[in-house]
């Protein structure tokens, strides 16, 4: 029995050790090194000294991240755009999930499928589609100018607006599903009771429906926030130089500056940033959700 | 002028008719029970009074004001839901205060009213608890307090005792009667339980298939049901599908197999040879071991089944034409017990026979 | 019979329009005869012709398919094993660590997955190519498969295998004859998800691919960076059609299996 268990564990355990744990350790190690013109292009963490191995940890990368305006801006932008996109997704997600949960039960599976379907189509294409919409000679500007609403094209691409709209668009389905799940678990009698006691339908929604869906809303927020903080493709295609985010900073350190140590340090910072939200999300997904089905 | 006046209200769900052209009045301060089997439309009717469903036809007037299209949050009518529908994220206090806050009442006044309601329902100690920390009976009281604290013109209660166990149910019935008298608020209950209806009601409205069959005082509903449905809904009854022989002065003679039946005429003409359904409650029959002379409203036969239910004994008697008549008796201490296969004589008064409509 | 309020209809209409209009416009403009991407110049299949005569795209597409197939298959195997380890072996030391590390690629940004996996290949001296991309994709695909299979395993009646054992099947037989068939829809869904994720990935592939192992998204991405072109509209449309067809087919298969089970 024990051998069978070991055989079962062996492959996934070794695989994750090799492809997740060791690479993470490598990144951590390299982040404390300094770049050098050699192969590999960074200093070793331990060096042979007079009395055996000497630990040579450099904190230069980390001090630079928290002092150089470029990195501080990247950090700020990451949190700002991910935060705004999360709020947008929650607002839209709440409205759409609510509408789906109020639809006739036989329509709900179809509506949900329609909402998830874009997720199955190429991410890259969906972001690309927004370039054609947002650029100065793009479709939105053409339409607005055609209607005579504006005289000059609006600058939407290469701005924070473009980044946020791209993120909102891409991750909206992630927000709708958990909110829908927590709404559909609520007894319709609860909102009826609120209305019966004198709450207008809008008051009933904010005072009863939303508080009871809070765990679903929190999960939805995290499911948008976590991937958007480290996003690379969206800010790269829809943003500009002023909207640089951490993922882009990492990318350019690695590919343009060939500074593997800085790229690694940025990866460590990004991971730490996501640690708390990821743990909360995990607890939410695993734990039962009180307030539902009651 | 009635407090609530329901005029020709109908509600359809697709092809199904849930409530069918129904008229009903509710008087100030009374306790009215809507009684009927599940799916008879009683809950739909209640929800239309609350404003949670809109009638497809007809009008609902409250204090002579048309409230048919008034949304639920603007009606001075509150409801106690079957599942209680307590807000799980709010404390007991906040649940009860919910409705008053919507009225924009001053917080001191709200606190006073909530305290008063919690004291009235003896839940004063649970103010800070969440609903899931309460027992079923306590939850029921919170739901009641939450609706009553608004001092509605009319309180609707959807199967209020359904979730309680038997002992608690009887105790709560008495308390609901008391609250009804104390507050002077009219109560409209919905239930499928006839005992509960009898215990709670000033008047019972029996519903079936979206229509009212009979609206009357509980005693009248039990003793003088109008049709087969109402007669059997309330309690077991012998039903005689009889043929009228003749109508003589204030008595009608009828025949059902070998039985000669005689009942009091009620002004409705009954020509000879017409069909008439007659109901006879089990406890209205007197059972005797001593032979009785043959005549109207008597029968004799063999005991084929005996059922002791504590204080009562119900027997089934097979007559010589194979008709079966059921009778029940109070169990007296010194009377010898009736035994199977014994021959017994049955007799009853003409007033015990109730002519029933049979549709 | 509920009737939707106007607010809800507005929300749904706006939401679905928001989700579908951008994609729809890409498809429409792929049939545009004009080179200008905002002006309609009449219907034409011109750009599809241009695309199919471009061998670089075809080669990249072939690479992507190879990688996605390999990665999805490895991911399904790994993810299923992982799900079994986490649900069937009870508590053992290291269980949490295995679970945590297996799921980590799901929440870690792609740039981190890319750079860290590359560091591994570099320090092991592994030549980069199709295989390295497939291995990296299998690692994050496995996390998604694990979640899908695990939720199915948890919902399975534990008495099913016990019943099979009771009727004389050995543990392996019981697993293969009873558990695997009931897991099949989850396995298919997991494989498809891993396949699509691999087919869709730009970032990780950019880090770990080598010469001659350029995938379609990487190729498209470098073109997109240069701007919108009708050629990319055409390739997007083809990808959309292929992926939708696969997804619709899979969901139909699953529905059929479900109906067969219910009979």
> SS3 sequence, A135-188?
CCCCHHHHHHHHCCCCCCCCCCCCCHHHHHHHHHHHHHHHHHHHHHHHHHCCCH
pLDDT at C99: 86
Q: Which residue of A has its CA nearest to B145?
A: A197
pLDDT at A1: 57
Query: Does residue A118 or residue A197 have the better pLDDT?
Result: A197
Beta carbons of A195 and B147 less than 8 Å apart? no
Q: Which residues contact C213 (CB under 8 A, 6 or more apart)?
A: C63, C67, C128, C129, C130, C132, C133
For B314, list phi and psi in degrees, rounded to 5: -110, 130
pLDDT at A180: 95
For B189, list phi and psi in degrees, rounded to 5: -100, 155
Out of B52, B78, B132, the one facing A197 most closely (by C-beta) is B78
Beta carbons of C19 and A139 less than 8 Å apart? no
What's B339's DSSP letter? Answer: -
**Whether residue A294 has pLDDT greater than 50:** no
Q: Strands, E, within B209-297: which ranges?
A: 211-216, 237-248, 251-256, 259-264, 275-281, 286-288
Average pLDDT score over chain C = 85
Residues C217 and A121: their CA atoms lie apart, in Å, by 13
Instruction: Name the neighbours of C, counting chains with at least 3 Cβ pairs within 8 A.
Output: A
Q: Which residues of A touch B83 (CB under 8 A)?
A: 187, 189
Q: Does A177 touch chain B (CB under 8 A)?
A: no
Do residues B98 and B142 make contact, with C-beta atoms less than 8 angstroms apart?
no
Residues C141 and C69: their CA atoms lie apart, in Å, by 11
Residue C164 CA: distances (Å) to CA of C83, C152, C158, C159, C179: 21, 19, 11, 9, 10
pLDDT in tens, C99-115: 888 888 988 899 999 99
Nearest to B62 by CA among B47, B72, B77: B77
Strands B186-191 and B154-158, bridge-based pairing: parallel
**Whether residue C2 has pLDDT greater than 60:** no
Instruction: Name the neighbours of A, counting chains with at least 3 Cβ pairs within 8 A.
Output: B, C
Q: Does C93 touch chain A (CB under 8 A)?
A: no
Q: Provide the number of CB pairs (under 8 Å) joining chain A to chain B.
A: 68
pLDDT at A143: 86
Q: Which residue of B has its CA nearest to A209?
A: B87
**Whether residue C3 has pLDDT greater than 60:** no
Out of A196, A198, A204, the one facing B103 most closely (by C-beta) is A198
Residues A179 and A219: their CA atoms lie apart, in Å, by 8
Number of helices followed by number of strands (H, E) in chain A: 15, 2
The number of residues in chain A equals 294
Beta carbons of C135 and A19 less than 8 Å apart? yes
Q: Does C37 touch chain A (CB under 8 A)?
A: yes
Along chain B (359 residues), what's the average pLDDT of each consecutive run of 10 residues? 94 92 95 94 94 94 94 94 92 95 93 94 92 93 94 94 86 92 95 92 94 94 92 90 88 91 88 92 90 90 89 90 91 76 92 88
Do residues B201 and B31 make contact, with C-beta atoms less than 8 angstroms apart?
yes
Q: Does A210 touch chain B (CB under 8 A)?
A: no
Share of residues in chain B with pLDDT > 90 (%): 76
Helix (H) or strand (E) holding C198: helix C180-200
Beta carbons of B150 and A198 less than 8 Å apart? yes
Q: Does A192 touch chain B (CB under 8 A)?
A: yes
Beta carbons of A270 and C109 less than 8 Å apart? yes
Please list the residues that pair with B46 across neighbouring strands.
Answer: none
Residues A19 and A40: their CA atoms lie apart, in Å, by 20
Place C254 in a pLDDT band, splitting at 50, 70 and 90: low
Beta carbons of B147 and A187 less than 8 Å apart? no
Query: Does residue C169 or residue C124 have the better pLDDT?
Result: C124
Out of C38, C85, C135, the one facing A8 most closely (by C-beta) is C85
pLDDT at B356: 93
Q: Which residue of C has its CA nearest to A98?
A: C8
Residues B290 and B347: their CA atoms lie apart, in Å, by 12
Q: Which residues of B touch A214 (CB under 8 A)?
A: 89
Q: Which of A250-254, C29-33, C144-148, C212-216 has the lowest mean pLDDT?
A: C29-33
Question: Would you tell me how many other CB atoms lie within 10 Å of the CB of residue C156?
Answer: 15
Residues A224 and A156: their CA atoms lie apart, in Å, by 22
Q: Which residues of B touch A204 (CB under 8 A)?
A: 73
In a 3-state reduction of DSSP, which class is residue A45?
A: coil
Residue with tokens 């021959």: B343
Q: Which residues of A touch B99 (CB under 8 A)?
A: 197-198
Share of residues in chain A with pLDDT > 90 (%): 51
**Whether residue A75 has pLDDT greater than 60:** yes
Q: Does A14 touch chain B (CB under 8 A)?
A: no
Q: Which residue of C has its CA nearest to A239?
A: C225
**Whether residue C94 has pLDDT greater than 60:** yes
Question: Which of C56-60, C129-133, C252-256 is modeled with the greatest confidence?
Answer: C129-133
The predicted model gives A59-70 an average pLDDT of: 89
Share of residues in chain B with pLDDT > 70 (%): 99
DSSP assignment of B79-135:
EE-TT----TTS-HHHHHHHHHHHTT--HHHHHHHHHHHHHHTT-GGGTTS-GGGS-
**Whether residue C134 has pLDDT greater than 90:** yes
Beta carbons of A132 and C19 less than 8 Å apart? no
Q: Does C223 touch chain A (CB under 8 A)?
A: no
Q: Which residues of A touch C98 (CB under 8 A)?
A: 9, 12-13, 16
Q: Which residues of A touch C171 (CB under 8 A)?
A: 4
Q: Which residues of C touch A137 (CB under 8 A)?
A: 38
pLDDT at C229: 75
Out of A13, A121, A260, the one facing C98 most closely (by C-beta) is A13
Query: B359 burial class (0-12, 13-18, 19+ CB within 10 angstroms)?
Result: exposed
Residues C13 and C16: their CA atoms lie apart, in Å, by 5
Q: Does A208 touch chain B (CB under 8 A)?
A: yes
Interface pTM (ipTM) of the complex?
0.86
Place C261 in a pLDDT band, splitting at 50, 70 and 90: low
**Whether residue A286 has pLDDT greater than 70:** no
Residue with tokens 């790269």: A236
Query: B139 burial class (0-12, 13-18, 19+ CB within 10 angstroms)?
Result: buried
**Whether residue A291 has pLDDT greater than 60:** no
Q: Does A190 touch chain B (CB under 8 A)?
A: yes
Residues B166 and B144: their CA atoms lie apart, in Å, by 19
Q: Which residues of B touch A194 (CB under 8 A)?
A: 87, 98
Q: Which residues contact A66 (CB under 8 A, 6 or more apart)?
A: A72
pLDDT at B325: 94
pLDDT in tens, B288-311: 888 888 889 999 999 999 988 888
**Is the backbone of residue C140 left (phi > 0), alpha (psi -120 to 50) or beta?**
alpha
Nearest to C205 by CA among C84, C93, C117, C120: C117
Radius of gyration of the CA atoms of chain A, in A:
24
- List residues of B whose CB lies inside 8 A of any A CB: 50-52, 71-74, 77-79, 81-83, 85-89, 98-99, 102-103, 132, 146-147, 150
Q: Tokens at residue B291, please?
A: 């032979």
């Amino acid at each position: 029995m024990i051998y069978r268990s070991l055989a079962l564990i062996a492959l996934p355990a070794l695989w994750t050790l090799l492809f997740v744990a060791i690479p993470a350790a490598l990144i951590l190690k390299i982040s404390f090194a300094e770049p050098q013109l050699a192969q590999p292009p960074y200093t070793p963490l331990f060096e042979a000294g007079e009395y055996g191995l000497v630990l040579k940890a450099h904190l230069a990368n980390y001090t630079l991240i928290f002092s150089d305006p470029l990195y501080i801006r990247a950090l700020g932008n990451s949190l700002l755009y991910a935060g705004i996109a999360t709020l947008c997704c929650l607002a839209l997600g709440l409205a759409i999930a609510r509408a789906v949960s109020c639809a006739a039960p036989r329509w709900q599976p179809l509506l949900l499928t329609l909402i998830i379907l874009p997720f199955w189509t190429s991410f890259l294409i969906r972001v690309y589609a927004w370039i054609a919409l947002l650029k100065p000679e793009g479709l939105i500007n053409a339409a607005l100018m055609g209607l005579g609403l504006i005289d000059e094209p609006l600058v939407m691409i290469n701005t924070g607006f473009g980044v946020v709209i791209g993120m909102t668009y891409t991750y909206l389905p992630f927000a709708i599903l958990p909110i829908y799940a927590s709404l559909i678990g609520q007894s319709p009698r609860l909102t009826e009771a609120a209305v019966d006691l004198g709450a207008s339908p809008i008051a009933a929604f904010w005072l009863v429906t939303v508080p009871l869906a809070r765990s679903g809303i929190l999960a939805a927020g995290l499911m948008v926030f976590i991937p958007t903080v480290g996003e690379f493709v969206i800010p790269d295609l829809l943003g500009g130089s002023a909207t640089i985010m951490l993922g882009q900073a990492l990318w350019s350190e690695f590919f343009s500056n060939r500074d593997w140590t800085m790229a690694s340090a940025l990866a460590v910072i990004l991971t730490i940033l996501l640690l708390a939200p990821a743990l909360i999300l995990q607890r939410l997904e695993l734990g039962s959700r009180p307030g539902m089905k009651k | 002028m009635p407090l609530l006046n329901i005029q020709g209200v109908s509600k359809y769900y697709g092809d199904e008719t849930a409530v069918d052209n129904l008229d009903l009045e509710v008087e100030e301060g009374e306790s009215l029970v809507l009684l009927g089997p599940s799916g008879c439309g009683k809950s739909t009717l209640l929800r239309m009074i609350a404003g949670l469903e809109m009638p497809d036809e007809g009008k609902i007037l409250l204090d002579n004001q048309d409230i048919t299209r008034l949304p639920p949050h603007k009606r001075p009518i509150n409801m106690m839901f079957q599942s209680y529908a307590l807000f799980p994220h709010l404390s007991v206090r906040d649940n009860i205060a919910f409705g008053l806050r919507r009225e924009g009442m001053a917080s001191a006044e709200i606190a006073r009213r909530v305290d008063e309601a919690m004291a009235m329902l003896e839940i004063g100690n649970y103010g800070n608890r969440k609903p899931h920390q309460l027992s079923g009976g306590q939850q029921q009281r919170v739901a009641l307090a939450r609706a009553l604290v608004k001092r509605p013109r009319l309180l609707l209660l959807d199967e209020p005792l359904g979730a309680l166990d038997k002992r608690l149910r009887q105790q709560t019935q008495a308390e609901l009667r008391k609250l009804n008298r104390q507050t002077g608020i009219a109560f409209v209950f919905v239930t499928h339980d006839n005992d509960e209806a009898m215990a709670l009601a000033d008047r019972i409205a029996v519903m079936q298939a979206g229509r009212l069959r009979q609206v009357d005082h509980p005693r009248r509903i039990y003793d003088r049901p109008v049709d087969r449905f109402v007669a059997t809904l309330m309690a077991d009854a012998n039903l005689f599908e009889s043929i009228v022989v003749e109508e003589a002065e204030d008595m009608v003679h009828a025949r059902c197999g070998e039985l000669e039946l005689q009942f009091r005429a009620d002004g409705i003409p009954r020509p000879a040879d017409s069909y008439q359904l007659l109901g006879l409650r089990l406890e209205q029959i007197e059972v005797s071991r001593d032979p009785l002379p043959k005549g109207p409203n008597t029968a004799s036969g063999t005991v084929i089944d005996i059922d002791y239910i504590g204080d009562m004994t119900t027997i089934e008697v097979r007559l010589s034409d194979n008709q079966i008549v059921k009778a029940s008796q109070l169990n007296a201490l010194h009377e010898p017990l009736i035994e199977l296969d014994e021959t017994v004589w049955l007799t009853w008064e003409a007033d015990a026979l109730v002519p029933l409509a049979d549709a | 019979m509920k009737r939707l309020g106007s607010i809800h209809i507005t929300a749904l209409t706006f939401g679905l329009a928001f989700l579908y209009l951008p994609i729809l416009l890409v498809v429409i403009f792929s049939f545009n005869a004009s080179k200008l991407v905002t002006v309609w110049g009449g219907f034409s299949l011109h750009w599809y012709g241009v695309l199919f005569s471009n061998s670089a795209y075809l080669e990249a597409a072939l690479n992507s398919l190879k990688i996605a197939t390999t990665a999805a298959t490895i991911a399904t195997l790994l993810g299923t094993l992982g799900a079994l380890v986490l649900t069937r072996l009870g508590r053992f030391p290291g269980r949490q660590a295995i679970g945590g590390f297996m799921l980590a690629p799901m929440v870690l940004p792609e740039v981190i997955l890319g750079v860290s996996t590359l560091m591994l290949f570099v320090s092991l001296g592994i030549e980069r190519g199709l295989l390295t991309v497939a291995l990296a994709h299998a690692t994050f695909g496995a996390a998604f498969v694990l979640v899908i299979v695990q939720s199915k395993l948890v919902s399975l009646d534990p008495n099913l295998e016990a019943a099979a054992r009771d009727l004389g099947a050995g543990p392996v037989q019981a697993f293969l004859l009873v558990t695997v068939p009931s897991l099949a829809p989850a396995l298919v869904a997991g494989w498809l998800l891993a396949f699509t994720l691999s087919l869709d990935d730009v970032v990780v592939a950019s880090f770990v691919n080598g010469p001659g192992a350029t995938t379609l998204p990487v190729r498209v991405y470098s073109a997109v960076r240069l701007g919108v072109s009708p050629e990319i509209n055409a390739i997007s449309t083809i990808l959309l059609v292929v992926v939708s067809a696969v997804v619709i087919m899979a969901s139909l298969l699953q529905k059929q299996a479900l109906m067969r089970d219910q009979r």
